[in-house]
Chains A and B, each alone.
Chain A
Amino acid sequence: MKRLSVTERLTKNRFVLDEEQSHIEVNQEIAKVTGTGKLIVACCPAHVYTEEPDGTISVEYAACLECGTCLAVAAPGALKWHYPRGGFGVQFREG
């Protein structure tokens, strides 16, 4: 099977984007001090999180597959993560 990047994989999925609000919020300071930033970059299967050259963590919330792994590994206060509003986010067709 052809090797696909994570971005290419995500294009196969159906997403309903919530244009109005993100369901993810990183507290940059706490994320940096606690190491949460690097952890969530490495643990997220959808590559929602990217460490920028200045050390901050950017968030591509539209790609989120809603597993909750980032929240599980995050230090207290470093990350606000909830499910998207009803009807939004990934909509599995296989599952």
Chain B
Amino acid sequence: MTETAEPDFDAIVIGAGIAGCVTAYQLARQGRSVLVIERGEAPGSKNLSGGVLYSRGIQQVFPGFLDEAPVERRITRNYINFLNAGSSVAIDYRDARLADPVNAVTVLRAKLDPWLAERCEEAGAVIMPGVRVDRVLTEDGPAGRRIVGVRAGDDELRAHVVVAADGVNSFIAKEAGLRKQEPLNHLAVGVKSVVSLPRETIEARFNLTGNEGAAIAAVGDCTEGVGGGGFLYTNIDSISVGIVVRLDDLTAKKKVVTDIFDHFLAHQFIAPYLEGGELLEYGCHLVAEGGLHMIGEIAMDGMVVVGDAAGLTLNTGLTVRGMDLAVGSAVAAAEAIGDALDRKDSSGASLARYRQKLFASYVGQDMKTYAKAPSFLEIERMYKQYGELFANVLYGAFNLDTQPRQHLFKVARKSLGQSPLKVRQLVRDGIAGARSL
């Protein structure tokens, strides 16, 4: 499909987050002219994540990433726990193999994203911060409406391809008709504090040495039973601590989100990690939780959607991913855009190769593998009764109260009898978990 006016750029990327920067970097390295428009006063200033980046994908894009990028700690300890009001049952998974090769790092986005934007500029892309894209420019052609550029204030800028990398709210994808208002069970809100502590204190409290890091994830009483969880991630000299709660459950239970966050911070097993810390920053972020079902159309005439804007986040119960999927989608999109530019055809049919490449990569494959995870994680029992049941069984084993002991199986059966859980629910949830996670 031919275009009327010669555009200003091969590609205009909306949003200098991970998805936007990696797309821009890859395109600039192909020799394309690229403009990145960012509404924050500097790249990263509007961006926030929980903090764990599974880094293999981004290391393929930037081979020096681990040594050169401002990353915090390398995660070698994953501590996953059912956190009840007065008890906790955890898996404490530590593995030296996670450090060699490095698999995941903690990041603070206001520090990481400027580095990514600098790499884009080095590769020849133009970064324009402090500018909000108000809407996309469209033209009606013989094949229907196509996106031809963007409008920001009084300025109009044109490109062969627009890349919507404008985050989970993606006003751009919604305006273009690619995304609709999401149902509330597809969305969660994350609330986070970054708390400053001396690095020696962090290393002692989390049992770490050097640049090792820990990721603690909790479900249960920590969110007052609302679907979601809490987290603590170690940075070099600060801790990212927060909760993520599903909006359907939060609203149904009529809870105040900041009360849940306060409850988590004050929890007797969480507060000691933060003791003596100073708040550095308070933030929040909307999280896509719908998994595969949230990915709608991601390419149309003249535009593709990448990263959070495309609904690419994944909660598998053990790992919570978004930034690595942003990288993968950006790599796939840049390849497809490059092919389309070579063919001088940026129609939706031509850009549809982005979707093929995405689903051929780990991003699409993993979204499919975990397609049933969101509905599994909506099971109410996960957030209260299971944690209590596990703790009661262990209490029966450890509480040597001078009464004769019973075999663990009997203790478990008795605990289950006292729990509102039914055996058939346990079996059903077990099977569903095995199939979906």
Contacts and interface: CB of A to CB of B under 8 A. Distances in A.
Interface stretch (A26-34, A38-46, A52-60): A38-46
B330 interface: no
A12 B275 CA distance: 18
Contacts of A89: 46
Given A13-B282, A89-B46, 7 more contacts: A1-B195, A1-B275, A45-B257, A67-B189, A86-B153, A87-B129, A90-B46
B250 interface: yes
Most buried by B among A43, A91, A92: A92
Interface of A: 1, 3-4, 6, 9-10, 12-13, 16, 39, 42-47, 65-69, 71-73, 82-87, 89-95
B109 interface: yes
B247 A72 contact: yes
A10 B392 CA distance: 40
A42 B257 contact: yes
B247 A43 contact: yes
Contacts of A87: 39-41, 129-131
B88 to A, nearest CB: 19
A86 B155 CA distance: 13
B281 A94 contact: yes
A92 B281 contact: yes
A67 B285 contact: yes
B285 A72 contact: no
Nearest to B191: A45
Given A1-B265, A86-B130, A91 B41 contact: yes
A9 to B, nearest CB: 4
30 contacts: A1-B271, A3-B262, A3-B265, A4-B279, A12-B281, A39-B251, A44-B257, A45-B191, A45-B284, A47-B258, A65-B282, A65-B283, A65-B284, A68-B169, A68-B286, A69-B284, A72-B181, A73-B184, A73-B251, A84-B132, A87-B130, A90-B283, A91-B40, A91-B46, A92-B45, A92-B48, A93-B281, A94-B108, A94-B238, A95-B108
B128 to A, nearest CB: 9
A42 B110 CA distance: 27
Given A12-B282, A86-B130, A90-B46, A43 B39 contact: no
B296 interface: no
Contacts of B132: 83-86
Majority secondary structure of chain B interface residues (helix, strand, loop or mixed): mixed
A77 to B, nearest CB: 12
Most buried by B among A16, A43, A45, A90: A45
A6 B282 CA distance: 9
B66 interface: no
A1 B187 contact: no
Contact of A46 (B265, B271, B284): B284
Contacts of A65: 282-284
Given A69-B247, A71-B169, A72-B187, A92 B46 contact: yes
B171 interface: yes
A82 B262 contact: no
Contacts of B195: 1
Interface in B247-275: 247, 250-251, 254-258, 261-262, 265-266, 271, 274-275
B113 interface: yes
Contacts of B238: 94
Contacts of B47: 92, 95
B423 interface: no
Nearest to A72: B187
Nearest to B39: A86
B247 A92 contact: no
A85 B154 CA distance: 13
Contacts of B275: 1
A45 B189 contact: yes
Contacts of B182: 72
B365 to A, nearest CB: 28
A64 to B, nearest CB: 10
Nearest to A44: B257
A41 to B, nearest CB: 8
B421 interface: no
